[in-house]
Structure 1
Amino acid sequence: MSRKPPMPKAFRRLWLASGVSSFGDGVYLTALPLLAATLTRDPVLLSLVTASSLVPWLLFGLIGGALVDRWDRRRTMYVTDAVRGALLLAAVAGAAAGWLGVPLLIALAFLLGIGQILFDTAASAYLPEVLDRDPGLLKRANARLRGTMDVLDGFAGPPMGAALFNLGRTIPLVTDAVSFLLSSLVIRSLPASPPKPPAPKRSLLKDAREGASYLLRDPLLLGLSLRPALGNFAFSAGAAVFVLFAQEELHLSATQYGILLTSEAVGGFLGSLVCGWLSDRMGTGRALILTAALLTAAQTTIGLADDPWLVGGAMAVRAAALGATIVLSASVRQSIVPDALMGRVTAAGRLMSLGAAPIGALLGGWLAHVAGLRAPYLVGALFLAASTLISLTMTSNRKVEAAMAKAEQERRRADEPAEVAP
């Protein structure tokens, strides 16, 4: 059996920074709905808090991708994390001054969402640089990053967030601020991106349109983006009112709510572990079909179940399928998209996928208001069923393998020395 090549040191530092930041996010994202629920019991207002962190993708997603392709990607990441840490500390100061309210939470989530655009797009574009676009290394790296996020963001962070919230409402915000600042310091030690060749002067909008056009013309990339768009729409519809669902339908305390969220971390971690095994044995396309079917079944179960243990199990299955989907989709995209377009294509795909989330969150709040807290989950399951059809038709094994082979041929041609005319 051939030994797998070791990961470069730069990836290990990027992995460390991601882990530190993921733990802080798990604390913050668990405490935020609990904090909002102390200020209002209106499901529509709660859905606005959730949606405000995702609306920036609709407004600035493509522009963020164009900026990432122009800027040094490492610098973009560490500056963004430093600014996000400062924003959280400013919000804590505002709360101490008596300004704590739903408007403050909406503004904070919106600004942090802008930072997420720049950081996530830059990180996704920087990873292929570190790993020299090796498909095997990319799959392993994305699995490790996803698994770490699931453990720290989803498993360690939620109970810690609930515990810190019980000690003080703004303590989780301070914890997340510290994690951002530590992440910024680690990322600053990474090697800089290669110098970019001088680009022709043109508008950001034109650059952004080029990335979007590249994605829309490629059926495989389009399918890989449509699936998470439907998924995020469905998940956000339920997530927007999940704190009320847990309290009023499952009758859970704040601590039990935090523990329930850890079931997603367990599932997500397992999904990141097995996705490579599934891909090797079934092919990436068939693995994506399987995960789509599991997502549909799990979301339906959550909407129908009364037992918190059954809900937790369904959440674990859903997270495992989602984690595997994210790892496999990201690895394919990072392997086949040209480096000069990586930031813009990544941003266009995330705009499509995350842009559906705030719409889903608002719909979820409305559905819960008019039809009850289970309605967002059952309606969301219908959209997840549609994603299975997309996997069957647009991201099959044959299409994935053909795209990977074409990208490899183009890289080899680009690496060949140019012939010198006699």
Structure 2
Amino acid sequence: MSDLRSPMPTDFRRIWSASGISALGDGIYTSALPLLALSLTHNAVLLGAVEACALLPWLCFGLVGGALVDRWDRRRVMWLADLGRFALLVAVGTAVALGAADIRLVLAAAFLLGIGQIFFDTASVAYLPELLGRDADALQRANSRLQGTQRVLEGFVGPPTGSFLFTLGRSVPIVADAVSFLFSSLVIRSLPRTPPKPARPHRPILKDAREGAAHLFRNRLLLGLSLRPAIGNFAFLGISAILALYVHETLHLGTAAYGIFLTTEAVGGLAGTALAGRLTARLGTGGTLTLTALVEAVALLGIGLSANAWFAGAGFVVLGAAMGATMVLGPSIRQAIVPDELMGRVTAAARLLALSAGPLGALFGGWLATVAGLRAPFFFGAGILGVMVLVAARLTSNSRIDAALAEAAAARQATAPEPVAASEPAAASEPAAASA
């Protein structure tokens, strides 16, 4: 295990800075794209389609993208993906500035940006273990910093910045997001080249993709780590679907309070990313994952029972903290134990599982609130997260995680290059040592 106080390598700081600027651009994009779409149409179906187009690429190409990332140089994939997104947004910004944009262009841009996100996100998750030598402690610290920075810039700074830039001109936030991708691409381009991948027999891409998904579902620890965000997304998006209505009709607050509630969850998430390491030092990674599942369930139950806005807001802070810690620990363990040749495919399969559960949860939450009241999605979410406490305690226990880390370390040692043979002068000294 590495020293938690040891400094991170310089190359990680480059990734960190690139990720931060890119997260700021994503925050700008998150608020600017819906505003751009709204300026082009008031058709609710088309506005919803813009959001769907950002998710659709993961459902269609997520597993294939993971398989391609495992075949290609990951550093190259990252900087080319961001360079492509830069070029796309420059084209969109130019069309908007010239008055030539319509809703079809926005839909196409959202879809193509989603494809770029598949390649960049999958490659970056797979590249980080290469950079940090698959050290679990270093990966945890790295993910904590990346998640914390992302929450601040994408969650707090980016959206209001995007809204402000939009008031200066519809194309201004689009160009600002493009510049963030260009910066990220140039920084990642400066990273050291990765060693060439060993030659592998040519196989159909779909067979490679299925191999990654099969590896995830066969490994109980990986399956447990992937079920957490999947079940969480089902529960949380079921709540998000009716949150604005809940804040208005149950807590009797105005529209501005809805934004404040979203901010409280983000504040909690930032605290959770910072506390993940301390909790792990005391409880172990498995114990912390079990604790966060319990805290999420209790927080949702408390929010659902509360008629007081202050208590509900405090519940969202606690909920966000538990989610933030989970989002640091789960990926760190997966990055430490998955073989390098499968990292992209397993990452894509886990991401697809998590993302697929979200829309189902949103639909179910909306239906449940209609038939059983606005508090019902909170109670149901607390119930299924309560079940996740038992799943986490069994599938992601400390003993299972420790065994997986030891097995992964042994496998890497077994496949490490043989030490260089002793030189002739050293060999010549052996008789003298023996005669002594």
Judge same fold: TM > 0.5, yes or no. yes
Q: Is 1:198 aligned to 2:202, yes or no?
A: no
- Equivalents in 2 of 1:205, 1:111: separation in Å? 21
- Corresponding residue number in structure 2 for 1:404: 405
Q: 1:27 to 1:373 in 2, by over 3 A?
A: farther
- Equivalents in 1 of 2:135, 2:412: separation in Å? 11
Q: Is the 8 A contact 1:292 1:384 kept in 2?
A: yes
User: Counterpart of 2:112 in structure 1: which amino acid?
Assistant: L
User: Counterpart of 1:280 in structure 2: which amino acid?
Assistant: A
User: Counterpart of 1:408 in structure 2: which amino acid?
Assistant: A
Q: Is the 8 A contact 1:65 1:345 kept in 2?
A: yes
- Corresponding residue number in structure 1 for 2:16: 15
In the TM superposition, residue 370 of structure 1 has moved relative to its aligned partner by 7.0
- Equivalents in 2 of 1:284, 1:214: separation in Å? 22
1:97-246 counterparts in 2 under 5 A?
Answer: 97=99, 99-101=101-103, 105-168=106-169, 171-240=172-241
In the TM superposition, residue 34 of structure 1 has moved relative to its aligned partner by 5.8
Instruction: Give the stretch that moved more between structures: 340-349 or 309-318.
Output: 309-318
Instruction: Give the stretch that moved more between structures: 120-129 or 291-300.
Output: 291-300
Q: Secondary structure at the match of 2:193?
A: coil
Q: Secondary structure at the match of 1:29?
A: helix
In the TM superposition, residue 85 of structure 1 has moved relative to its aligned partner by 2.7
TM-score (norm 2): 0.84
Task: List alignment gaps of at least 5 residues for structure 2.
Answer: 422-436
- Equivalents in 2 of 1:47, 1:235: separation in Å? 19
Q: Is the 8 A contact 1:155 1:261 kept in 2?
A: no
Q: Secondary structure at the match of 1:54?
A: helix
User: Counterpart of 1:71 in structure 2: which amino acid?
Assistant: W
Q: Secondary structure at the match of 2:255?
A: coil
Question: What do residues 360-413 of structure 1 show as CA deviations (whole Å, max 9, x unaligned)?
Answer: 344455566777766655544444333323212211111111111111122222
- Equivalents in 2 of 1:28, 1:368: separation in Å? 31
Question: What do residues 37-96 of structure 1 show as CA deviations (whole Å, max 9, x unaligned)?
Answer: 775595x77655444322322211110110001111011111111222333344444545
In the TM superposition, residue 259 of structure 1 has moved relative to its aligned partner by 5.0
- Corresponding residue number in structure 1 for 2:338: 337
Q: 1:304 to 1:115 in 2, by over 3 A?
A: farther
- Corresponding residue number in structure 2 for 1:297: 298
Instruction: Give the stretch that moved more between structures: 197-206 or 87-96.
Output: 87-96
Question: What do residues 106-143 of structure 1 show as CA deviations (whole Å, max 9, x unaligned)?
Answer: 44333222221111110011001111111211111111
1:300-319 counterparts in 2 under 5 A?
Answer: 300-303=301-304, 309-319=310-320
- Equivalents in 2 of 1:175, 1:297: separation in Å? 41
- Corresponding residue number in structure 2 for 1:251: 254
Q: Is the 8 A contact 1:161 1:258 kept in 2?
A: no
Question: What do residues 185-208 of structure 1 show as CA deviations (whole Å, max 9, x unaligned)?
Answer: 111111122101111111111111
- Equivalents in 2 of 1:331, 1:188: separation in Å? 24
Relative contact order higher in (CA < 8 Å, ≥ 6 apart): 1
User: Counterpart of 1:330 in structure 2: which amino acid?
Assistant: P
Q: Is 1:56 aligned to 2:57, yes or no?
A: yes
- Equivalents in 2 of 1:46, 1:387: separation in Å? 34
Q: 1:159 to 1:189 in 2, by over 3 A?
A: same
TM-score (norm 1): 0.87
- Corresponding residue number in structure 2 for 1:282: 283
In the TM superposition, residue 240 of structure 1 has moved relative to its aligned partner by 4.9
- Equivalents in 2 of 1:18, 1:251: separation in Å? 35
Aligned length: 416
Question: What do residues 246-274 of structure 1 show as CA deviations (whole Å, max 9, x unaligned)?
Answer: 67864224xx6555433333222211111
Q: Percent identity?
A: 56
1:385-396 counterparts in 2 under 5 A?
Answer: 385-396=386-397
Q: Is the 8 A contact 2:4 2:137 kept in 1?
A: no
Instruction: Give the stretch that moved more between structures: 27-36 or 111-120.
Output: 27-36
- Equivalents in 2 of 1:170, 1:275: separation in Å? 39
- Equivalents in 2 of 1:308, 1:88: separation in Å? 40
- Equivalents in 2 of 1:172, 1:247: separation in Å? 31
Q: 1:55 to 1:241 in 2, by over 3 A?
A: farther
- Equivalents in 2 of 1:394, 1:350: separation in Å? 18
Task: List alignment gaps of at least 5 residues for structure 1.
Answer: none
